[in-house]
Copies of this chain bind each other. A is one copy, B any other.
Amino acid sequence: MAGRPVDHQRRAELLDAVVDYTVEHGFSDLSWRPVAAALGVSTTTLVHRFGTKEQMLVAILARLRERIFAATSETLGEHPDLATAARAAWTRTSAPQREAEFRLFFAVYGRALQAPEQFAGFLDRVVADWMNALRDAQGPGTDPQTATRTATLVIATIRGLLLDLLATGDRERVQDAAETFLATLPRRP
């Protein structure tokens, strides 16, 4: 009655490989054939796993979001106050090893801004992930509105500084500005 079972792990493997490829080769003119060639499979295999190209793009977005958030959130809950948590977040995101990943992130983000219905949920989720993490980093006694306000500001500033860093490569100037900002955050509740 039941035939060969669906190999879900295989899809996950391929997705991760596709994300790796995308991080390296960019997102703007991604197509089946070069990706398949790079992975050593046929285009049909990719189509079989992801359905349509748009569905693959959505899958890439989701996986990329997972990766980026996982890499930063694991160190976000271990800090006593917002200042050190924000510093840890900044150190993580501005690390040179993750530069390519964040270049892709902003490319995807910008594209999602122009096609919100196509990538519905992605933008909201990316903000929500960080919001929750940074709200928790503040003391439990903090006024909710203040916590939201501060978290919004921290996320925006880190993201804006990262954008500057990726665009100019002037690490010294950007780091200097980051220090100034981090110094304004509350250090002990």
CB of A47 closer than 8 Å to a CB of B: no
CB distance from A58 to the nearest CB of B (A): 15
Question: How many copies of the shown chain assemble into the complex?
Answer: 2
Kindly report which residue of chain B lies nearest to residue A128, judged by CB atoms.
B168
Asked, given contacts A106-B110, A107-B114, A110-B107, whether A164 binds B174 with beta carbons under 8 Å apart, the answer is no
Residues of chain A at interface, number, CB under 8 A: 44
Decide if A156 touches B164 in the complex (CB within 8 Å).
yes
Contact of A149 among B107, B109, B176 (CB under 8 A): B176
Q: Which of A112, A115, A152, A159 has the most CB of B within 10 A?
A: A152
Give A contacts to B, CB under 8 Å: 26-28, 103-104, 106-115, 123-124, 126-127, 145, 148-150, 152-153, 155-161, 163-164, 166-168, 173-174, 176-177, 180-181, 184
Q: Given known contacts A145-B176, A156-B174, A156-B177, what 13 new A-B pairs fall within 8 Å (CB)?
A: A106-B109, A107-B111, A109-B110, A109-B163, A123-B167, A124-B168, A150-B180, A152-B164, A152-B176, A157-B181, A159-B164, A163-B163, A184-B184
